[in-house]
């Protein structure tokens, strides 16, 4: 029996010719990632192990993004611990205010992850880098500590579900709609500890940013990772970002999958996930009348320039509805600068939006837009659990940047066709 793409990467990093689903293996890591919430726990465990230095100063990365710029004294203390640790251990890739961005947008942008890598991060959405043809997955802070110390991690090799994509997406429909459509089909545990492997001619029609969004939310279906094949789109994105040579792995023709799900991208509609799970999806024509109080466009899922541009083109020349707060959060400093230079920040401000420095912000109830009791938000974030963005009685509706922008204008959940 052949191997899936994920299994090939894991086998190579374990020094094995072949692996099978369910097998326990010890994997050499290309990168270990932490943020200002998870790194302090890992740092304490690292010290408890009695280690003097990290396994590779170039391969450990910490990004201050969840509560940075610091929202309170506790957040400041968390970042201070990370800052001092990275200075002491001479960690090369430490990103603080002024250089940081949202970690899962920043690492691809900086060329810190390339095709064929094996990456762990103490953040569940580390699976984002599968968009680049890498194996990447979220782990706990203790695993991060061990990774920083040894450069290795234990894994149970996952089985896989194959998503065979055909066709191309309709106008104003994006990768966010694709992954919400999939999660609505299979549920939040539909890919539990499995690899979601994307294939088929439809992949070529998806931008790298659509793929980053889809891979990012693989965890919302319970997956161990999501992964896309490496093609011209991938190689064009990583070109010039890293001096390392990409390693390209392809699934064997006789690779074993638990099942194959076929999706015609041309049939996917704008999709919204209702509270309080990403699987509670409705297409835009099924939504009905849902008035909102806030819109958030940003996050590691949808804070790329493409996302901001799509929203800006809908908001251009229009105004945010009265009593709606619209918050725009570029995912990195480079994206923020490009948005300024291209004029779309001006569009946002003239429409009545506020534009934030890069931060995870309200996605996890951090800052820059917490919800009060009973308030509703349309957000391009990746989770809508109870109390995720503020008060336990508030509600979060997950949607694409296009739907979020249209909703900001209408004051209710709306599709782009209602405002254009």
Q: What is the pLDDT of residues 383-406, one digit of tens each?
A: 999 999 999 999 999 999 999 999
Instruction: Kindly report, residue by residue over 97-108, the tens digit of the pLDDT.
Output: 999 899 999 999
> Quick count: other Cβ atoms within 10 Å of Cβ 320?
21
CA pair distance 17, 23, nearest whole angstrom: 13
Tell me the average pLDDT of the chain: 96
* Angle (deg, nearest 10), helices 305-315 and 401-410: 30
Q: For 179-182, which contacts have Cβ atoms below 8 Å and span 24 or more sequence positions?
A: 179/213, 179/214, 179/216, 179/217, 179/218, 179/220, 180/217, 180/271, 180/272, 180/273, 180/278, 180/281, 180/398, 180/399, 181/263, 181/268, 181/269, 181/271, 181/281, 182/214, 182/221, 182/261, 182/263
Q: How far is CA 65 from CA 285, 319, 362, in A?
A: 36, 30, 12
Q: Are strands 259-264 and 159-166 parallel, antiparallel or unpaired?
A: parallel
Residue showing tokens 């539990």? 192
Instruction: Kindly report, residue by residue over 64-116, the tens digit of the pLDDT.
Output: 999 989 999 999 999 999 999 999 999 999 999 999 899 999 999 999 999 99
For residue 419, the model assigns a pLDDT of 87
CATH code that applies to domain 271-415: 3.30.499.10
The pTM (predicted TM-score) of the whole model is 0.95
Query: Cβ(366)–Cβ(341) under 8 Å?
Result: no
Q: What is the per-residue DSSP string for 210-276?
A: HHHHHHHGGGGGT-SEEE----HHHHHHHTTT-SSPP------TTB--SEEEEEEGGG---EEEPTT
CA-based max dimension of the chain: 61
Helix (H, G, I), strand (E, B) or coil at 2: strand
Element at 305 (helix H, strand E): helix 305-315
Structure-block tokens of residue 268:
């996917």
For residue 366, the model assigns a pLDDT of 87
Instruction: Kindly report, residue by residue over 194-207, the tens digit of the pLDDT.
Output: 999 999 999 999 99
CA pair distance 300, 360, nearest whole angstrom: 7
Q: Hey, where are the domains in the chain?
A: 5-264, 271-415
For residue 231, the model assigns a pLDDT of 97
Instruction: Kindly report, residue by residue over 114-135, the tens digit of the pLDDT.
Output: 999 999 999 999 999 999 999 9
Torsion sign, CA atoms 29, 30, 36, 39: positive
Q: Give the mean model confidence (pLDDT) for residues 148-167.
A: 97
CA pair distance 207, 217, nearest whole angstrom: 16
pLDDT band at 323 (very low <50, low <70, confident <90, very high): very high
pLDDT band at 420 (very low <50, low <70, confident <90, very high): confident
**Whole-angstrom distance between the N-terminal and C-terminal Cα of the chain?**
51
pLDDT at 1 over 90: no
pLDDT band at 411 (very low <50, low <70, confident <90, very high): very high
pLDDT at 212 over 90: yes
Q: Give the mean model confidence (pLDDT) for residues 22-49.
A: 96
Instruction: Kindly report, residue by residue over 234-289, the tens digit of the pLDDT.
Output: 999 999 999 999 999 999 999 999 999 999 999 999 999 999 999 999 999 999 99
Q: Give the mean model confidence (pLDDT) for residues 215-222.
A: 97
| pLDDT cut 90: percent of the chain above it | 96
Query: Cβ(225)–Cβ(130) under 8 Å?
Result: yes
CATH 3.30.499.10 fits 5-264, yes or no: yes
For residue 58, the model assigns a pLDDT of 97
Domains 5-264 and 271-415 share a fold: yes
CA pair distance 381, 390, nearest whole angstrom: 14
For the chain, give the number of residues: 420
Helix (H, G, I), strand (E, B) or coil at 134: coil
Element at 110 (helix H, strand E): none
């Amino acid at each position: 029996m052949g191997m899936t793409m994920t299994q090939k990467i894991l086998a190579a990093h374990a020094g094995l010719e072949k692996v099978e689903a369910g097998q326990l293996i010890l994997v050499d890591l290309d990168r270990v990632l932490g943020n200002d919430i998870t790194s302090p726990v890992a740092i304490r465990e690292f010290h408890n192990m009695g280690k003097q230095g990290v396994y590779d100063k170039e391969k450990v990365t910490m990004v201050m993004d969840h509560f940075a710029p610091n929202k309170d004294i506790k957040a400041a203390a968390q970042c201070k611990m990370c800052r001092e640790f990275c200075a002491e251990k001479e960690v090369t890739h430490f990103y603080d205010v002024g250089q940081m961005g949202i970690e899962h947008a920043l690492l691809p942008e900086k060329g810190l992850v390339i095709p064929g890598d094996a990456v762990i991060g103490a953040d569940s959405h580390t699976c984002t880098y599968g968009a680049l043809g890498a194996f990447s997955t979220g782990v706990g802070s203790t695993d991060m500590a061990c990774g920083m110390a040894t450069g290795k991690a234990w894994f149970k090799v996952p089985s896989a579900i194959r998503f065979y994509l055909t066709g191309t997406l309709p106008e104003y429909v994006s990768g966010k709609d694709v992954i919400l459509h999939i999660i609505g089909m299979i549920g939040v545990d539909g890919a539990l500890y499995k690899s979601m492997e994307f294939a088929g001619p439809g992949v070529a029609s998806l931008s790298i940013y659509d793929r980053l969004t889809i891979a990012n939310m693989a965890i919302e279906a319970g997956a161990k990772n999501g992964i896309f094949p490496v093609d011209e789109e991938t190689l064009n994105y990583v070109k010039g970002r890293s001096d390392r040579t990409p390693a390209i792995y392809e699934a064997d023709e006789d690779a074993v999958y638990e099942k194959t799900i076929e999706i015609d991208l041309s049939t996917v509609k704008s999709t919204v996930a209702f509270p309080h799970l990403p699987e509670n999806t409705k297409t835009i024509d099924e939504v009905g009348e849902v008035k909102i109080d806030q819109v958030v466009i940003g996050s590691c899922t949808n804070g790329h320039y493409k996302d901001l541009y799509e929203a800006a083109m809908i908001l251009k020349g229009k105004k945010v509805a009265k009593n709606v707060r619209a918050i725009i959060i570029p995912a990195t400093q480079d994206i923020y600068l490009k948005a300024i230079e291209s004029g779309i920040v001006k569009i946002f401000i003239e429409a009545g939006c506020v534009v934030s420095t890069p931060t995870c912000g309200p996605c996890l109830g951090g800052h820059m837009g917490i919800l009060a009791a009973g308030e509703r938000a349309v957000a391009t974030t990746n989770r809508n659990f109870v109390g995720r963005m503020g008060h336990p009685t508030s509600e979060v509706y997950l949607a694409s940047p296009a739907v979020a922008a249209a909703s900001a204008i209408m004051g209710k959940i709306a599709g782009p066709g209602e405002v254009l």
